[in-house]
Structure 1
Amino acid sequence: MSTTTFILDLFGIAGILATVIGGFVVVRAAKEAKTAEVWKAEAEAQKARADRLQEDLTEIKDRLGRIEEENKRLVQLVSTIDPARLNIFRTH
C-alpha cells in the first residue's frame, strides 16, 4: 500500500465519519427543536388553563360576595320579624 492510497483511504474514512456525525447532529437538533415546540405548546396550554381558572376564581369570589350580602340582608329581615329566631341561625 502506497502512502497516497493510505492518505486517500484515510480521507475517505474521515469523510464517512463526518457524514455520520453531521447526520447525528442534524437528527439531534431536529429532536431538540421538536421538543422545544412541544414544551412551548404545553406552556401555552397551561397558561390558557391558568387564565380560565383565574376567571373562574374571580367569578366564584363575586358570587360569594353577593351571597354574603344577600345572607346579611336575610338575617336582618328575619331579625326584624322575630329576634328570638335569629339565635337559631347563629348557632348553626
Structure 2
Amino acid sequence: VARGRAHLPAPPKRWLVGGGGRHNATLMAALAERLEAPVAPVESVGWQGDALEAQAFGFLAVRSLRGLPLSLPGTTGVPRPMPGGRLHRCPIPPADRRHA
C-alpha cells in the first residue's frame, strides 16, 4: 500500500481501509505510520466494510468464472494477465446437500 502511493498524482490526505484488516489496531497503526497520513476504516464515511468486501469477492468470482484475469502486469507485476485458479464443483447433487 505504501509503495502504491508513489503512483498517485498527489498524496491522499486520508486513507480509507476496507477488509478484515481494518479491525486490526496494529495493522491500522502501521499503515498510518508508513503512509504518513490518517488511516480510518471505511465505516468512518458511512460505508459498510463487510458489504464492500463481499462485493469485491463477488466481482473476483464472476471474473474467475468467465475466465478473465484477476491479476495484471501493471497492477501486481505478474508476467502476464493471470486467472484466479480453478473452480471445484461440489460432487454432491444439490438436492442431497442438505443431508451431507
Q: TM tier, shorter chain?
A: under 0.3
Report the TM-score when normalising by structure 1: 0.23
Structure with the bigger percentage of helix: 1
User: TM-score, with normalisation over the residues of structure 2?
Assistant: 0.21
Larger RCO of the pair (alpha carbons < 8 Å, separation 6+) = 2
Greater C-alpha radius of gyration: 1
Larger proportion of strand: 2
